[in-house]
Amino acid sequence: QVKQMCDAIIAVKPDLVITEKGVSDLAQHFLMKHNITALRRVRKTDNNRIARATGATIVNTVQDLTESDVGTQCGLFEIEKIGDEYFTFLTKCQNPKACTILLRGPSKDILNEIERNLQDAMGVARNVVFHPYLSPGGGATEMAVSVRLSQLAKGVEGVAQWPYRAIADAMEVIPRTLIQNSGNSPIRVLTQLRAKHAESNDNSSWGIDGDAGKICDMHKLGVWEPQAVKLQSIKTAVESACLLLRVDDICGAKKAATAGGQMGGGDD
């Protein structure tokens, strides 16, 4: 039966066989006689990515195999030893729809930091692809919203203007934090930025240069952020504030103390 299964695989003339299950020694013998390499116990997620990269089709049984199921888009298969472990590489693929990024570093902590940075960068790229709009960074967007809300608040009478002013003040936290992190004076630089935005709507792209701690045009500096992130952060902040405002009272609860003065919690 093993030979029949191997013959069905050999009939489609593959160079590499990848399976989620194991491969017996007898099956390896038959495959190696025809220069076919077998990889066993490959994770399902990796199998799916390999299929997308090579153009192969995953089949459940060898009886369903056809020559069209064999992926022909991979140019090179090789095994390399990195450190104390062996890694399999499928490279030179034609129009691959999946890939792997190999990270290397001197220590595990640095690798973890690089991985987090890469995930953030990939997340930014994904947001830009699905929502292709950018906003000026460096606190420029927040300051533009803050100045505009302050202007609108002047046309509102009574307590109705309080939400405008509260959100306007909250928006200035981002540029103020950037100024503080750069070691500059938050009061002086923030006043300059506020005045710059108040001059004209054309100055809405002016923000904080994080290195120098001075105001500059983010458009010329090339600092941009995904608009989707800005919109979601503002929505979340406003919704959280509304949720807290609906709270009338907070009831505190304490556990009753036992006769010995200890908190009750059972024999344990």
The enclosing H or E element of 219 equals helix 218-221
Q: State both tokens at 168.
A: 């306007």
Q: Where do the structural domains in the chain lie, given as residue ranges?
A: 2-91, 135-245
pLDDT of residue 65: 86
pLDDT of residue 268: 46
* Collapsed DSSP state (helix, strand, coil) of residue 205: coil
Q: Do domains 2-91 and 135-245 have the same CATH topology?
A: no
- 34 pLDDT more than 50: yes
Residue 84 amino acid letter: D
Look at the block and give the residue holding tokens 């059972």. Answer: 266
Query: pLDDT by residue (tens digit) across 183-234?
Result: 888 899 999 999 999 988 888 899 999 888 889 999 999 999 999 989 999 9
**Mean pLDDT value of segment 1-10:** 87
DSSP 8-state class, residue 266: -
Computed on alpha carbons and rounded to an integer, the radius of gyration of the chain in Å comes to 31
pLDDT of residue 169: 92
Query: pLDDT by residue (tens digit) across 55-81?
Result: 999 998 888 888 888 988 888 999 998
Q: Which of 62, 56, 111, 45 is nearest to 82 (CA)?
A: 111
Q: Which residues are 219's β-sheet partners?
A: none
The CATH architecture that domain 135-245 belongs to is Orthogonal Bundle (1.10)
- CB neighbours of residue 125 within 10 Å: 11
Give pTM, 2 decimals.
0.62
CA 251-252-253 angle, 5° bins: 120
Look at the block and give the residue holding tokens 């928006």. Answer: 171
In whole angstroms, give the CA distance from residue 142 to residue 194: 11
Is pLDDT larger for residue 264 or for residue 107?
A: 107
Q: Which of 154, 206, 213 is nearest to 189 (CA)?
A: 213
pLDDT of residue 203: 85
The CATH architecture that domain 2-91 belongs to is 3-Layer(bba) Sandwich (3.50)
